[in-house]
Amino acid sequence: MYINFWYPIVKSEDLGIDTPERAKVLGVNLVAFRDADGKARVLSDTCVHRGASLGGAWSMGSAPRIIDGCVVCPYHGWEFNGDGECANIPSIGYGTKTPPRAKVDSYPVEEKYGIVFAFLGDLSEEERPPLLNVEEYGQEGWHANEILVLEVDYNYERSMENGLDPAHNEFVHPTHGHAGKYRDTYRVREYDTEDHRQGWGFWFNVTMDTPPLPQSDHETAKGGTPWGKEKTERSLIRPGGGTYGPNAMATYITLTPEKMFRQYFFEQPVTENKTRIFFLNMRNFMLDPEKDAAIHARNKIIAKQDIDILLEVTPRLTPMTNTREVMMPADKAILAYRQWLQKFDNNGWRIDTDAFNEKNGIDSAYTIPSPGRKTSGNWVLDTIPLIEGKIDRDQEATA
Ligand code: FES
Ligand SMILES: [Fe+2]
C-alpha cells in the first residue's frame, strides 16, 4: 500500500450534512464530514486530546455532531475544523485560544463522479499525481450508473491484477467465457502496453479469439468484428484496460464500434487484506436510467465470479519477485502494473506494513502525513512507517 495517491473515501450520497462518516484506508482511520459550505473534508480520525475516534460512538442523541463546520469529538467535545485545527476546547471555555498542537492532519479533497476522494499524502499541489480524469463523465451521449461499492476480503493489488488479466475471462465468467471448450481456436494474442497519457500508469488493448456467444445477440457475437475489418467465423472481442496509480483502473468493453462500456474502478485498500472497490460504470448506449438496475445486477453477478476465485488465491499479497509465479505473454499487463509499483517503491511511498501492524493501535496511533506537515510543526501523532531505499523486487523476469 502506498501514500501520495488519491483514494476514494465515501460515496457522495452517503456523506450527509449532519453526521461524520468514518473510513479506514491504508490501515488508518479517517473521518469525513461536510463543512459549513457543504464541502467535503477528510481528517485523521484520532483525536489528539486522548485518542477518541472523531467519527465514532456518540451518546448525545440529537445534539449536533458538526457545529460551525467543525466535527465535534464525542469524548470531551473538542471541535476540529476542515483544516484540522481545533477551534474550541470546551474545558478551557468556548472561544478560548487553543494550543498549536491541538490539530489533526487534514487531506486535500476532490468530490467527483459521485465519490469523495482524498489525497492521502504530504505532496504539495504541484507535486501531486492528479486524480484520474474520466473524460466522458458528464458528457452528452454517456450515462453513469450510480457508484457500486464492492467489499472484498482480499488485497487490493490482487484485485487490480485480476482486472488486468485477459486470460481469466474464458474460465471465470460464463457470461463471456467457455471454460476452454473451443480448444483448437482459443488464445489470447500478444499485446503491448503503453504509458497512460497522464503518466502514473499504462494502457493496453488485447485481442482474444473466442467463439460467438450463443446467449448474446449483439453484433460481435454473430461473428463480425467490432471494428469491421476481418470477417471470421469467430468473434473477436478487443477489450482495453489500464491502471493509474496503484489503485485506479479502467476497463473498456467494446461491444460494437458504437456501443461501449467504460468501467472505472477506484480501489480503497482498507487494510492489506480488505478492499472496498468503488465501481463507476459508464455507457454510451441504453442511456435510459431505467436500465441502471439491470446493469448493476449483472455487474454484481460478474463481480461475484471474480471474488470467489480471488478469495482463494495464495499468497494473499502479490509476490515481490516474478520467479514465484510462471508468467505468460497474456500476463504482460500484470507485469506492467508491478513495474509501476516499483516506481512508487522507489519514491519511498510504500507503507512498511510489518512495522505498522506491530505497533498501530497498541502503543502508537499512526496517521498518514498531510501536506500541512511540510509547512508547520508541532504534530502530535507519528506518521505511518514507510519503506525507504531499495526494495528487493524483481519484476523483470518473464516466462
Ligand atoms: S479525546 Fe477528543 S476531546 Fe478528548
Ligand atoms: Fe473478471
For ligand 1, atom 1: residue with the closest CA: 50
With a 6 Å cutoff on the Cβ, whether 253 touches ligand 1 is: no
What is the pTM assigned to this prediction? 0.92
Q: Is residue 223's pLDDT more than 50?
A: no
Q: Which ligand is nearest to the CA of 167?
A: 2
With a 6 Å cutoff on the Cβ, whether 78 touches ligand 1 is: yes
Question: If you compute the radius of gyration of the chain from its CA atoms, what whole number of angstroms results?
Answer: 23
How many Å lie between the centroid of ligand 2 and the Cα of residue 305? 7
Q: Which ligand is nearest to the CA of 31?
A: 1
Q: pLDDT digits over 45-91, tens only? A: 999 999 999 999 999 999 999 999 999 999 999 999 999 999 999 99
Task: Give all strands of the β-sheet with 106-107 in edge-to-edge order.
Answer: 21-25, 28-34, 40-44, 106-107
**Confidence at 180, pLDDT banded by 50, 70, 90:** confident
For ligand 1, atom 3: residue with the closest CA: 76
How many Å lie between the centroid of ligand 2 and the Cα of residue 167? 9
Q: Which three cell numbers stand for residue 277?
A: 472497490
Mean pLDDT of the chain: 89
With a 6 Å cutoff on the Cβ, whether 156 touches ligand 1 is: no
Smallest CA-to-CA distance from 135 within 115, 119, 112 is with: 112
What percentage of residues in the chain have a pLDDT greater than 70? 91
With a 6 Å cutoff on the Cβ, whether 50 touches ligand 1 is: yes
With a 6 Å cutoff on the Cβ, whether 76 touches ligand 1 is: yes
Tell which one of 50, 65, 72, 94 to mutate to probe ligand 1, the residue whose CB is within 8 A of the most ligand atoms. Answer: 50
* pLDDT at residue number 228: 32
Q: Is residue 176's pLDDT more than 90?
A: no
With a 6 Å cutoff on the Cβ, whether 75 touches ligand 1 is: yes
Q: Could you tell me the maximum CA-CA distance found in the chain, to the nearest angstrom?
A: 80
Q: Which residues contact 132 (CB under 8 A, 6 or more apart)?
A: 6, 198, 244, 245, 248, 250, 264, 266
Total Cβ atoms within 10 A of residue 161: 22
* pLDDT at residue number 234: 40
Helices 332-346 & 156-163, crossing angle to 10 degrees? 140
Q: In order of start, what are the domains of the chain with their CATH numbers? A: 1-121+349-399 (2.102.10.10), 143-318 (3.90.380.10)
Atom nearest to 50 CA in ligand 1: 1
With a 6 Å cutoff on the Cβ, whether 47 touches ligand 1 is: yes
As a whole number, mean pLDDT of residues 158-164 equals: 96
Q: Which ligand is nearest to the CA of 79?
A: 1
With a 6 Å cutoff on the Cβ, whether 73 touches ligand 1 is: yes
With a 6 Å cutoff on the Cβ, whether 134 touches ligand 1 is: no
Determine the length of the chain: 399
Q: Is residue 225's pLDDT more than 60?
A: no
Q: Is residue 276's pLDDT more than 80?
A: yes
Tell which one of 76, 103, 380 to mutate to probe ligand 1, the residue whose CB is within 8 A of the most ligand atoms. Answer: 76
Smallest CA-to-CA distance from 361 within 382, 333, 331 is with: 382
As a whole number, mean pLDDT of residues 283-298 equals: 93
Q: Is residue 107's pLDDT more than 60?
A: yes
